[in-house]
Structure 1
Amino acid sequence: MGKFSKGILFGAVVGAASGLLFAPRSGKATRQKFVDELEDWSDLKEDFNDKLDQFKASAQALQEAADIYVDPFIEGINRDVENFMFQAEPRLDQIQEQVEKIQAELPEMPEKK
Structure 2
Amino acid sequence: MGKFSKGILFGALVGGVGGLLFAPRSGKATRQKFVDELEDWSDLKEDFTDKLDQFKESAQALQAAADMYIEPFIDGINQDVENFMFQVEPRVEQIQEQVEKIQSELPDMPLED
Q: Same fold (TM over 0.5)?
A: yes
SS at match of 2:31: helix
Q: Which consecutive residues of structure 1, in runs of 5 or more, have no partner in the other structure?
A: none
Q: Give the Cα separation in 2 of the matches to 1:93 and 1:55.
A: 55
When normalised by structure 1's length, the TM-score is 0.81
Decide whether aligned partners of structure 1 residues 39 and 6 sit closer, same or farther in structure 2, where only a CA change above 3 A counts: farther
Larger relative contact order (CA 8 Å, sep ≥ 6): 1
Identity among equivalent pairs (%): 77
Alignment of 1:1-113 (within 5 A): 2-3=1-2, 6-104=6-104, 105=106, 107-110=108-111, 112=113
Q: Give the Cα separation in 2 of the matches to 1:97 and 1:63.
A: 50
Q: Give the Cα separation in 2 of the matches to 1:20 and 1:81.
A: 71
When normalised by structure 2's length, the TM-score is 0.81
Decide whether aligned partners of structure 1 residues 6 and 46 sit closer, same or farther in structure 2, where only a CA change above 3 A counts: farther
SS at match of 1:85: helix
Count of matched residue positions in the alignment of Structure 1 and Structure 2? 111
Q: Give the Cα separation in 1 of the matches to 2:6 and 2:46.
A: 14
SS at match of 1:47: helix
Pairwise CA RMSD of aligned residues?
2.1
